[in-house]
Amino acid sequence: MKKSIFISTILFAGSLLTGCSSEKHVVNNSSSKVSSAAKYYSYLTKGHSNKINLHLKYKGFKLASTPIEYRGTWYRANPYDKKATKLVIANHTINGAATYHQVDPNLKLDRHSEKQNKEYAGNAIAINVDNNLLKTRSFFDTVGLVYKTGQFKGHPCLFISYGTNPKAINGAVFKDKGIALKY
């Protein structure tokens, strides 16, 4: 489940608007992955996701709080219809996944380990705040999503990047649903 959430999150980011990129940033488009991301994201927003258990303990990880400036309901325009899709960031969750911070720097996770896959199963992601960037990833992945607060034409937004280059902007989400639909 964690892998599918992470993969769908990456695909979701690829389907976001690219209008928020600046000249300093590289814009990547992933049009072939958009439809599957939109389907899975739609599935999550209709209440089909697993219940969040904030009391789960994972060896080497501790429950983490998301920074206040990232919290709230954010919207992105769906390129296939005239509706906006939500991204909800709360105190201990991002889009329905509990947030954890790695506290054991020596912990090495192996995605091929059946034992570790069972031990770290659940609707959870690892987060890290570094240089005003909120970095998120699945427990077993080395690459994840990076969120950065910013402004686009005077409107607050979160710039989103994925992959190995956090300076590459792949899209943005807005606090206002109308603004998301406009841009």
Cα angle vertex 145, ends 109, 106, to 5°? 25
Instruction: Give the span between the Cα atoms of 146 and 134, in whole angstroms.
Output: 6
Furthest-apart CA atoms within the chain: distance in Å: 49
Q: Spell out where 26-154 has E strands.
A: 61-63, 72-77, 84-89, 93-94, 97-102, 124-130, 133-137, 145-152
Model confidence at 68: pLDDT above 70:
yes
Give the pLDDT confidence score for residue 141 in this predicted structure.
87
What are 15-48's pLDDT values in tens digits?
443 334 333 333 333 333 343 344 434 444 454 4
Strand duo 124-130 + 97-102: pairing: parallel
Give the pLDDT confidence score for residue 43 in this predicted structure.
42
Instruction: Give the span between the Cα atoms of 88 and 175, in whole angstroms.
Output: 10
What are 69-85's pLDDT values in tens digits?
999 999 998 878 788 99
Q: Which amino acid is at 148?
A: K
Structural tokens at position 27: 């814009």
Question: What average pLDDT score do residues 116-129 get?
Answer: 92
Instruction: Tell me the C-alpha to C-alpha distance, in Å, between residue 175 and each of 18, 29, 54, 91, 133.
Output: 16, 23, 26, 17, 18
Give the pLDDT confidence score for residue 50 in this predicted structure.
55
Give the pLDDT confidence score for residue 108 in this predicted structure.
92
Count CB neighbours of 164 within 10 A.
8
Higher pLDDT, 53 or 42: 53
